[in-house]
Amino acid sequence: GIDMDDAIQDGTTHPQAVGLLAFLKDAYQEKSVSGKGYKVFGRGPCPEWVEFNYAMGKLTGDHAARFFAVQGGGTGDPTAQINLEAVKVVLSGATEGEATERKHEPLPKVIQAGGQNDMLFRVACKHTREGMSPNEVFAIVKAVQVERAPNAPGETPWTDSDIHAIVASAGRYGVKEDRWGHDNVGDSECFKALHGERVRYDNRVGRWLIYDGVRWSPDRTHRVREMAIETMRWRMEASARIDDTKARKALWEWASKGLSSRRLDHMLKEAAASPGIVSSGEEWDRDPWLLGVQNGAIDLKTGVFRPGTPEDMITKQCAFPWDTEAEFPVWAATVADIFKDNPALVPYFQKVMGYALTGDTREEVFFLLIGGGRNGKGTLINTVDRILGDYATGLSFKSLEATRHGSGGGAASPDIAKLAGTRFVTSSETSGGAFNVAIIKGLTGRDPITARHLNKEEFTFLPNLKLFISLNEQPPVHDQSVGFWERPHLIPFNQCYAEHPDRTLKDKLLAEGRGILWWMVQGCLAWQKEGLARPKAVQDEVQAYKVSQAPLTEFISERLVVTPELECPAAQLYDEYKVWADERRLNGRARLTRTRFGREMGKVHEKQHTRKGTVYMGIGLGGGF
């Protein structure tokens, strides 16, 4: 067992402890009762190795002859094998020879910038030769870097990508013999042997992904092509180790010509179709409860943070790391001020934002943010959009209009295709067109959607997005079914900041991105516990919207008689409507003006102009007229 006392200081886990926990991710792990350390145990030989005393606190290694208390309820396998020698290297930063047993030794010597890369490379080579996996070697090299090669002022800081590059180089160094054919397939097989553990090709989208220590990151800087170049240079170097003159010359000639653009293209084309590298695209970002952040992943079911792993299959990432100590006073004050007329909207809005973090769509709803300009809705939504990074995207309102998507089957639909895997989708109504009810139901439901990127095959995906549409006026809806009207949540933004705008507010809010992310995760936990019931202000807005789309249906059925031989003066009809509207307490947009009443009534009953004034045909007041 491993007892990591005082590994947690002021709510933050020491970097060395993070490295050790990541290295021992398969073993049983739990927080200590004090909340200041961790306990880890598994199986493996344990000599009389007692304790280390580093910045993270005392660490005691216990074997079966000693007492070791745990609470239970942790994670991992208590029977997992623990490589003790590797553990001691992670803790000590030893780089040469066997890690020695030690008690209360001083911290190992810090290596200056000029020699750090060579030292870390030698560490990686040593443990690669011992047969450790690249992930195990990465954990060790990362821990050694933290202790012996810290980021120095003025120097480019070490990143996980740098450490992975060192581990990959060590892996190539450990492969002595070139055993692949002198053709494009042979080149791709060599590429796979040297780089295959950390690259994938997403065939659905047509992109390369590289594991960067936290997630599978889209290759936007042609790093994979650099790997292809490294592969051919490695083959050139490998030729020098061949004793047979003819074979050495043949490999050299083949490899030396492999740096041309044509040969590199052919290599990557073959590698992109290679089993173990090629992906259908369906594997990525499938866990709706896992949220990628800059420094790992958050389990949204529990709100617990952990390091990312390749097996998570995460490609998307928020724009901020997880930080439980971050604060958000400006955000809290802004949300409270925007909803000060309806305080119940504050906890509701937090749950909405928390629900939007997930890929779960059980609520089958969408959100309409209604209000005039300068009311704060854009400030809030745009801030969240930037915090969520890859999980957020925009969608043109034309994609949601009833006149949209009238093209034939099989036509490219990149606007819909790009929504696969996204969770936070924003749009703004600009044209006044009516909603395409089928599209709205499809995006907010749990049925598969078929779409196609440009120049790609059709694919089917389950939408896991939350749709937020900013409005000044509600778009027309030609559907009065329950199936539609149970979906919209209209959130009113009633304030106006036009006279005293804060030009720096957006920057202030973004500076609190870490804290706002924590706030949203708390909202997610609250949503799971309490649900997402509409507050009264939201219910009232939805009801008013529904009535406005068929404003006279209930009035006609309750107060009028529809018979061909009847007719009713327009003035008397509107007077009756006003009485009915008063009884229903209709106000604002839900209450029709005389002009709009005439326009809407004219849609359902014939209007005639007589000497006595305007009358409506085929209709009369309830008592007969």
Does residue 566 sit in helix, strand or coil? strand
Mean pLDDT for 479-487 is 88
- Higher-pLDDT residue of 66 and 272 is 272
The answer to whether the beta carbons of residues 29 and 64 sit under 8 Å apart is no
pLDDT at residue 88, as a whole number: 63
Q: Which residues, at least 6 apart from 182, have a Cβ–Cβ distance to it below 8 Å?
A: 250, 251, 254
CA–CA dist 29, 45 (Å, integer) = 18
Confidence of residue 101 (pLDDT cuts 50, 70, 90): very low
Structure tokens at 90: 């992670």
- Asked whether the predicted pLDDT for residue 104 surpasses 60, the reply is no
Look at residue 234 and give its three-state secondary structure.
Answer: helix
Question: What are the DSSP E strand ranges found in 236-357?
Answer: 278-279, 290-293, 296-299, 304-306
The reported pLDDT for the residue numbered 53 is: 40
What is residue 71's predicted lDDT score, i.e. its pLDDT?
A: 63
User: Would you say residue 375 has pLDDT above 50?
Assistant: yes
Q: What is the DSSP letter of 27?
A: B
C-alpha torsion angle, residues 598, 600, 602, 603 (rounded to 10): 170
Distance, CA of 446 to CA of 159 (rounded, Å):
39
Whole-prediction pTM value?
Answer: 0.68
pLDDT in tens, 172-202: 666 667 889 999 999 999 999 989 989 999 9
Candidate from 58-62, 86-90, 484-488, 528-532 with smallest mean pLDDT = 58-62
Q: In this structure, are strands 199-202 and 278-279 parallel, antiparallel, or unpaired?
A: parallel
Give the pLDDT of residue 604: 79
Sequence-ordered list of residues with C-beta below 8 angstroms from that of 328, at least 6 positions apart, any chain: 512, 515, 516, 518, 519
Average pLDDT over residues 53-63: 47
Tell me how far CA of residue 29 lies from CA of 32, 44, 51, 617, in angstroms.
10, 16, 18, 79
Q: What is the DSSP secondary structure assignment for residue 503, as one 8-state letter?
A: T
Place of tokens 């009035």: 555
Q: Which two structure tokens, joined as six digits, stand for 298?
A: 């958050």
As a whole number of angstroms, the longest Cα–Cα distance in the chain is: 114
Q: Assess whether pLDDT exceeds 80 at residue 566.
A: yes
The pLDDT of residue 116 is 76
In the predicted structure, residue 36 carries a pLDDT above the cut 80 = no
- Mean pLDDT of the region 347-375: 95
> Does residue 500 or residue 297 have the better pLDDT?
297
Q: Which of 200-209, 359-368, 450-459 has the lowest mean pLDDT?
A: 450-459
Residues 53-66: what's their mean pLDDT? 47
Work out the mean pLDDT of the chain and round it to a whole number.
Answer: 84
What whole-number distance in Å separates Cα of residue 578 and Cα of residue 601?
14
With 70 as the cut, is the pLDDT of residue 269 above it?
Answer: yes
> Which domains does the chain show, CATH number per domain?
2-171 (no CATH), 176-279 (no CATH), 329-545 (3.40.50.300), 551-621 (1.10.10.10)
Residue type, 445: G
Taking residues 461-486, report their average pLDDT: 90
Residue pLDDT, tens place only, 398-434: 889 876 444 445 566 888 999 999 999 999 977 677 8
- Residue in the structure block whose two tokens are 């911290």: 107
Contact 153, 107 (CB under 8 A): no
CA distances from 611 to 37, 225, 569, 594, 608 (A): 91, 84, 11, 20, 10
Rounded CA gap, 266 and 278, in Å?
15
Residue 89: pLDDT band with limits 50, 70, 90: low
Q: Give dist(CA 371, CA 368) in Å, integer.
A: 10
CA distances from 186 to 263, 267, 296, 570 (A): 12, 8, 36, 86
| Average pLDDT of span 51-77 | 54
Which pLDDT score, from 0 to 100, does residue 100 have?
Answer: 36
pLDDT above 70 as % of the chain = 82
What pLDDT, in 10s, does the model give residues 327-339? 999 999 999 999 9
- Residue 500 gets which letter from DSSP? S
